[in-house]
Amino acid sequence: MKITNVEAFILESPFKYQAPEGSEEARGVKHCFLLKVSTDEGLVGWSDVETAPHVGEAVVNAPESGSGVFEGLRALVIGEDPFDVERLWDKIYRGSIYYGRRGVAMQVLSGFDIACHDLIGKAIGRPVYKILGGARRDRVRAYASTLFRPTPDDIRRSCDYYLEKGFTAVKFGWGVFGQNRKLDIALVAAARETLGSDVELMIDPGWMVNRSAYDAIELCRALEPYNIFWLEDFMHPENYEGYAKVKAAGVRTRLAAGEQEATAWGFRDLINRGGIDVVQPDLSRCGGFTQVRKIMWEAEHAGIDVCPHAWLTDLLTAASLHVNAVLPRALFLEYNVSDNPMLREVIQNPVQMDAEGYIPVPQGPGLGIEINEQAVRRFCVNL
């Protein structure tokens, strides 16, 4: 099987990407980036990528330079066998090294790697978790991933909504959090009061708020009475020493980070220098399945948990489900609850949560998710 084409689709939502003004659900991302990898056997692989789509398109379509280090993705992979994921990963990493190594180049490489695994699964008629070594579970507990609402009453109403939907875990992040410490605590208190003691509560206070390690330690201690499951990405992604200082302060709350990190060696630094308790690789940023296998080893060696970050379409949700299926210990599946037709309508067979708050791992070949290409073209702005 040979790759014959790589296509980049930039999708645009009719809504702005902003925090809710009341208890309503967030609309989610303004733009979405999809990759389609076609082959000479008629099989296609898909992925979505959380990146700057217009920049990602340039990475895909950049022409061959002849230097071997300034190359576009398509120029590097046409004619290649998608089964060769390790060799291809290295070829693309080296081929884009003068403008890549991280950022959009790494994110596009991640999406390509996901699409190749989707193709491999389709070619052999098996789900991706079989390629990753076999499932230890066939469903994963989901948490509703959403943005902070501006007032405690809005938080309460939104929590009631997630409880009605059947979620047994909720994560609030970003939004107004970090602007006023008293309000921050009031919002978390309202969430805990409404959710009750049996529902897990996670907090993502947003790393774009400039905090010192001292500030983060004070925040952790202020939130301890509300028994949050983890505090996520509360410092700049590269501030490993700051994370380590918070951990060394003896806070009881789990510390989670890593959605902005990439490659196994990047996660090794985050784990060893940052001292965190949960790593959160995003499959569309960290290097795809080829790197997440190695990240899982780094985490297992360090005795910490892996919980993939996933906040796009069900392509990324499914990819994360396959990783969760093979983990020695799976905590949660992050489920993007944003109200955005762009993210929902492009999927033919969306994942479904069961009555106990779990989402089954897709059993179809590859990612197990089918794309509605008609909907993709309806939202696409670069055709």
Q: How confident is the model at residue 376 (pLDDT cuts 50, 70, 90)?
A: very high
Q: Is the pLDDT of residue 383 over 90?
A: no
User: Do 163 and 226 fall into the same domain?
Assistant: yes
pLDDT of residue 96: 97
- The answer to whether 354 and 135 have CB atoms below 8 angstroms apart is no
Q: Is the pLDDT of residue 350 over 90?
A: yes
pLDDT of residue 125: 98
- The answer to whether 85 and 290 have CB atoms below 8 angstroms apart is yes
Query: How confident is the model over 17-36, as pLDDT tens digits?
Result: 889 999 999 999 999 999 99
Task: Supply the mean pLDDT for the chain.
Answer: 97
User: Do 148 and 113 fall into the same domain?
Assistant: no
User: What is the model's pTM?
Assistant: 0.97
User: Do 187 and 102 fall into the same domain?
Assistant: no
The CATH number of whichever domain residue 26 belongs to comes to 3.30.390.10
Instruction: Please give the Cα distance from 364 to 211 (Å, whole number).
Output: 44
Question: How much is the average pLDDT of 68-97?
Answer: 97
CA angle 262, 111, 272 (to 5 degrees): 15
User: Do 120 and 140 fall into the same domain?
Assistant: no
User: Do 180 and 106 fall into the same domain?
Assistant: no
Q: How confident is the model at residue 241 (pLDDT cuts 50, 70, 90)?
A: very high
User: Do 141 and 172 fall into the same domain?
Assistant: yes
pLDDT of residue 265: 97
- Of the candidates 244, 237, 313, 245, the one whose C-alpha atom is nearest the C-alpha of residue 281 is 237
The range of the structural domain enclosing residue 19 comes to: 3-125+374-379
User: Do 37 and 84 fall into the same domain?
Assistant: yes
pLDDT of residue 219: 97
Question: How much is the average pLDDT of 162-172?
Answer: 98
Q: Is the pLDDT of residue 339 over 90?
A: no
The CATH number of whichever domain residue 166 belongs to comes to 3.20.20.120
Q: Is the pLDDT of residue 78 over 90?
A: yes
Q: Is the pLDDT of residue 142 over 90?
A: yes
Query: How confident is the model over 207-226, as pLDDT tens digits?
Result: 999 999 999 999 999 999 99
User: Do 50 and 143 fall into the same domain?
Assistant: no
User: Do 86 and 153 fall into the same domain?
Assistant: no
DSSP string, 28-72: --SEEEEEEEEETTS-EEEEEE-S-HHHHHHHHHPPP-SSSSS--
Q: How many domains does the chain have?
A: 2
Question: How much is the average pLDDT of 107-120?
Answer: 98
Query: How confident is the model over 276-305, as pLDDT tens digits?
Result: 999 999 999 999 999 999 999 999 999 999
pLDDT of residue 196: 98
User: Do 121 and 206 fall into the same domain?
Assistant: no
User: Do 207 and 227 fall into the same domain?
Assistant: yes
User: Do 60 and 110 fall into the same domain?
Assistant: yes
